[in-house]
């Protein structure tokens, strides 16, 4: 049975543990936080409920070991997933600890949302061993993962990383260059920044903005993405017509992407109040259940249409999941 070490729990690390575990791996889990086990168990409960709804041929569940020492967790692991707090000095220190105890041929992957692998590799014993594998929440359901090597990482390591990620039912996207925040979070940051301005300027509430996304372009993006959506908007002439038609708009002052609103107390209180009203008393766990149920339903629909993420799930061979 292949072995993975999960270093750092929380929502992301625990969900990584769930994905590996439900795809038949031995999971060595290490997180010294006082509530790490309870968070892990809550995530595992949700994963065990929803993952079988999406994947047809799951292997027997792997074994889970809660480790008291980082050294014990990583000693015999082929893959080590680091999901510690998003502070470069913390991650670099943990990565040094990992490398002091793991085998030289293990792949060490960081879940970091923003740091580049070359930053993580600074002062590392074996920089060629460290990559970024940035997932999206919930990791146990969403298949995409940004795989980011630096120039120090050999192609063989990238190939092995992609193979392991496919083995646990994920779709690795290996970026052609490293860049802060990778690709997905840079796109999300642009939308988030504009949304903050819309709330700050009193244009729309948090609920109205979310409704525009969930009832409009969010539905399109789930199955056609950004560029194919705009290609269809160009009609028979396709992308060229769209770019000629709407390209000039990029020169108009429609957005404030080059400016950042000040998250002062007034804006924070406004967002928190509106968000509380929008939640209407539902707990975070209840919101997660709604999210997972909706994701499963959409993934099933996409599988039926053999489209986007559904096509990927349909193409997963049973060999990758055994």
At 107, is the pLDDT very low, low, confident or very high (cuts 50, 70, 90)?
Answer: very high
Residue with tokens 């404030």: 256
The reply to whether 266 falls in a domain is: yes
The reply to whether 131 falls in a domain is: yes
**Model pLDDT, residue 172:** 98
- Are 147 and 114 found together in one domain? yes
pLDDT of residue 210 exceeding 60, the answer is yes
- Are 66 and 165 found together in one domain? yes
pLDDT in tens, 112-139: 999 999 999 998 999 999 999 999 999 9
- Are 112 and 215 found together in one domain? no
**Model pLDDT, residue 249:** 81
The reply to whether 320 falls in a domain is: no
The reply to whether 322 falls in a domain is: no
- Are 156 and 106 found together in one domain? yes
Q: Which domain holds residue 218?
A: 184-281
| pTM for the full predicted model | 0.94
CATH number for the domain spanning 213: value is 1.10.1040.10
Give the number of domains in the chain: 2
> Residue 111 corresponds to which tokens in the numbers above?
């879940």
Arithmetic mean of pLDDT, 213-237 = 92
Angle CA 184–185–188, to nearest 5: 90
The reply to whether 66 falls in a domain is: yes
pLDDT in tens, 234-264: 888 899 988 888 888 877 878 888 888 999 9
The reply to whether 267 falls in a domain is: yes
The reply to whether 61 falls in a domain is: yes
């Amino acid at each position: 049975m292949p072995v993975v070490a999960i270093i750092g729990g929380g929502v992301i690390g625990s969900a990584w543990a769930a994905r590996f575990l439900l795809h038949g791996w031995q999971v060595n889990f290490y997180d010294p936080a006082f509530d790490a086990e309870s968070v892990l168990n809550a995530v595992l409960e949700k994963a065990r409920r929803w993952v079988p709804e999406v994947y047809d041929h799951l292997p027997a569940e792997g074994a889970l070991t809660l480790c008291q020492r980082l050294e014990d967790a990583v000693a015999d692991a082929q893959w080590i997933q680091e999901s510690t707090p998003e502070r470069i000095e913390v991650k670099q220190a943990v990565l040094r600890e990992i490398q002091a105890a793991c085998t030289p041929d293990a792949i060490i992957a960081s879940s970091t949302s923003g740091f580049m692998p070359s930053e993580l590799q600074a002062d590392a014993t074996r920089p060629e061993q460290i990559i970024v594998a940035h997932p999206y929440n919930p990791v146990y359901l969403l298949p995409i993962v940004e795989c980011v090597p630096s120039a120090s990482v050999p192609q063989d390591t990238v190939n092995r990383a992609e193979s392991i990620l496919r083995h646990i039912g994920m779709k690795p996207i290996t970026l052609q260059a490293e860049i802060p925040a990778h690709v997905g979070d840079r796109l999300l940051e642009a939308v988030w920044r504009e949304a903050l301005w819309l709330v700050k300027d009193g244009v729309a509430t948090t609920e109205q903005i979310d409704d525009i996304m969930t009832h409009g372009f969010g539905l399109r993006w789930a199955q056609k993405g950004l560029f194919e959506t705009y290609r269809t908007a160009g009609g028979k002439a396709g992308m060229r017509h769209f770019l000629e038609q709407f390209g000039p708009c990029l020169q108009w002052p429609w957005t404030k992407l080059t400016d950042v609103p000040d998250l002062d107390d007034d804006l924070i209180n406004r967002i928190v109040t509106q968000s509380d009203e929008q939640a209407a008393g539902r707990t975070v766990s209840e919101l997660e259940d709604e999210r997972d149920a909706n994701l499963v339903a959409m993934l099933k629909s996409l599988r039926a249409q053999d489209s986007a993420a559904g096509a990927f799930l349909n193409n997963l061979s049973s060999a990758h999941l055994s």
